Amino acid sequence: MVMVQKNNLLRKRKSLVLIVLFLIIFILFGFISNGKREMPKASDGRIDLSSWNFQKDGLAKLDGQWEIYSGELLEPKDFKQGNYNKASVDYFKVPNNFVTTAKNKSLPKFGYATLRLKVKLKPNEDALYGIKSQYILSASKIWINGQLVTSTGKVSRDVDGALGSFEHQIAFFRNDVVENEIVIQMSNYNNVTGKVQNIYIGYNKQLKNDYIRSVVSDAFIIGCLFIMGIYHFALYYKRPSNKATLYFGVFCLLIALRNAIVGERIIFDVFPNISFSLFNKLAYLTVYCSLPFIIMFFKEILGNQISSKLVKLMNIISIVVSLVTIFTRIQIYDDFLLYYEIWILALFVYILYMIIKAVMNKNQGALIILFGFTVFLISVIHDIILQAGIIYTNSLIPAGFFIFIFSQSYLLASNFSDAFMEVEKLVEENKAVYTDELTGLLNRRGFYERGENFFNACLKNGSSFTLFYGDLNKLKIINDTFGHKEGDEAIKRTASLLRRSFGREDIVARVSGDEFIAIAVNKSSHDAARNLIENINNNFQVYNATAKKPYKLSISLGYSICTPDESTYFEAVINEADDMLYEAKASSGSILR
């Protein structure tokens, strides 16, 4: 009882340490992100970054009012030559949904436009800079100082010529002019909503390092999730009755795939020609397909606290929306996303309530579950708001999923560890029941249980074996002359010699003070039995020659070859070997002929 209380206390301490560790990480990230000074904003199509210290303050965002020319695809030469309507200039706030301009002019859901921004950097600094975009509508081309530097998708004035892509764009340029001009052509005919996300600027090395750090971070998380998924599949393979590991493994792999799609979108590095349609479908399906598995996981670990009907309903809804996503266009399946998100949030609130109840009931591991699920829920809510265009920050889903999955993996590993320790404890207890304390061999009880199981197996598959019965010679003389301690030493040496003489698969036991019994599983002839007896005697002779004991060890042996059938009894096989042993003792311990 005291040991159980100590284990529970240790487990709680480990859980608290894990939670505190993650809280410290969050606080540090918050401190780092909030420690930067406020960035300048673009106004009326211009932004002054001449006082921005890129080395100290890092990359800057080109947020604020850009010039916009809706319904026009202009190039830098058009601005240089004045081939555009200066009176039609309007402004668009970046980042933002492509809905209205700063003058409240409505923008078409499907169409094209041109953005323009003039950027003032440090004067007299001929340095190599770079810009990085997340995504701009569904296709874009970027010019800097009159040079086309990058493009993604295919910008078009009509739907037939349009080609969408969410691939990031990175480009570099020299700051060798008084004011740098960025011109972006963009169009959207492939997505249901158009967005212009953050555009970053900084020194070329900073931009490269930032990209590498982000890719390494994404790859690390994806790798960890993949390993966790395979690990939990292995746990399920070893113990199929525990379906929680199966559900959790599938969830890990699906989230690993999602992390390859979001963030730095590593999927484009692996499959550069992936279509816009397939990319979008995968982004939706990784949500629809993964969440049912995490719900079933919670059902497994929380048991009857989660309604079975609710789980079935979740599975049906997810299957329906997944099929709609696979077989329809984005204009149709995107309409389901909002309702699905509302349903999921309601379901998660219900699960959160059940987890809190489990914590109040002091269920084992409930605190870890609560912490991981809370982080998971916060990241999901944040990214739903991000998807809706209400905020423009980095996605928290990868980090949130990782922390959640890590915490749940810790819980599952802890449960398996506890189960393994319990098994070890039972094994040790069983050893005391079935093992001879002096020699470490099986005792009488252990031999009969294991021997009868082997006998029954041979009866089923028609196998044969040889059972040996042995008696240590002159043990009473050793005890009387040299003491019982030396007698015990003689018994232990005999056990060791027998164990060495028989094979690993053979069964060797001490059934009484000086009596031993063994089953040779692969010996089923008189020649093999006699050869084994001869080998045993040789081992005893070698021992006597090197042990320098005042006495010599020897053993008398009898054997019985058996191919079990319905008329054979295990006890009869033992009696036959015992009878042969007495014949050997009567012949002064010589090998039977």
DSSP string for residues in 491-543 = HHHHHHHHHHHS-TTSEEEE-SSSEEEEEETT--SHHHHHHHHHHHHHHHHHH
Query: Do 293 and 250 form a contact (C-beta atoms < 8 A)?
Result: yes
pLDDT at 268 over 80: yes
pLDDT at 26 over 50: no
For residue 167, the model assigns a pLDDT of 85
For residue 273, the model assigns a pLDDT of 84
For residue 367, give the nearest of 22, 6, 5 by alpha carbon: 22
pLDDT at 34 over 80: no
CATH number 3.40.80.10 is the correct assignment for the domain at 444-586: no
Query: The tokens 């606080």 sit on which residue?
Result: 27
Query: Do 187 and 138 form a contact (C-beta atoms < 8 A)?
Result: yes
Pick the range with the lowest mean pLDDT from 385-389, 547-551, 583-587: 385-389
3-state secondary structure of 129: strand
pLDDT digits (tens, 9 = 90+) for 440-455: 999 999 999 999 999 9
Q: Cα(381)–Cα(545) distance, rounded to whole angstroms?
A: 80
For residue 568, the model assigns a pLDDT of 87
Name which residue leads in pLDDT, 392 or 323: 323
pLDDT digits (tens, 9 = 90+) for 225-257: 898 889 889 888 888 888 988 998 998 899 889
Which distant-in-sequence residues (6+ apart) come within 8 Å of 45 by Cβ? 65, 66, 67, 89, 91, 116, 117, 118
In one-letter notation, the amino acid at residue 344 is I
pLDDT at 215 over 90: no
Using 50, 70 and 90 to split pLDDT, how confident is the model at 132? Answer: very high
Which distant-in-sequence residues (6+ apart) come within 8 Å of 24 by Cβ? none
For residue 64, the model assigns a pLDDT of 94
Overall fold of domain 218-421 = Rhopdopsin 7-helix transmembrane proteins (1.20.1070)
Query: Do 488 and 428 form a contact (C-beta atoms < 8 A)?
Result: no
Overall fold of domain 46-197 = Jelly Rolls (2.60.120)
